Amino acid sequence: MYVPFSAGSRNCIGQNFAMNEMKVAVALTLQQFELSLVPDKEPLKIPRLVLRSVNGIHLNLKKIETAS
């Protein structure tokens, strides 16, 4: 099992900061790009506690044009 920040009394002190940084990075990316699935790379779902894809999730990113 992958546990990036560990747990218990000796867990990572930067866990909250790292999670907030990732949320900001994802939010900024979603503001500037339109995401769509690659047509010939359909994700193969495997049932687990956390839903995953066997072959990853392949995305196309298209820059959103802003009116200046």
Report the binding-site residues for heme.
12
Q: Is 22 left (phi over 0), alpha (psi -120 to 50) or beta?
A: alpha
Instruction: Name the token pair of 54.
Output: 């066997």
Whole-number pLDDT of residue 42: 77
Give, as one character, the DSSP assignment of residue 50. S
Binding residues: 12
Nearest to 32 by CA among 68, 66, 64: 64
Selection from 8, 25, 7 nearest residue 17 by Cα: 25
On the question of pLDDT at 60 being above 80, the answer is yes
pLDDT digits (tens, 9 = 90+) for 1-52: 667 777 777 788 888 999 999 999 999 999 999 999 888 887 777 777 777 7
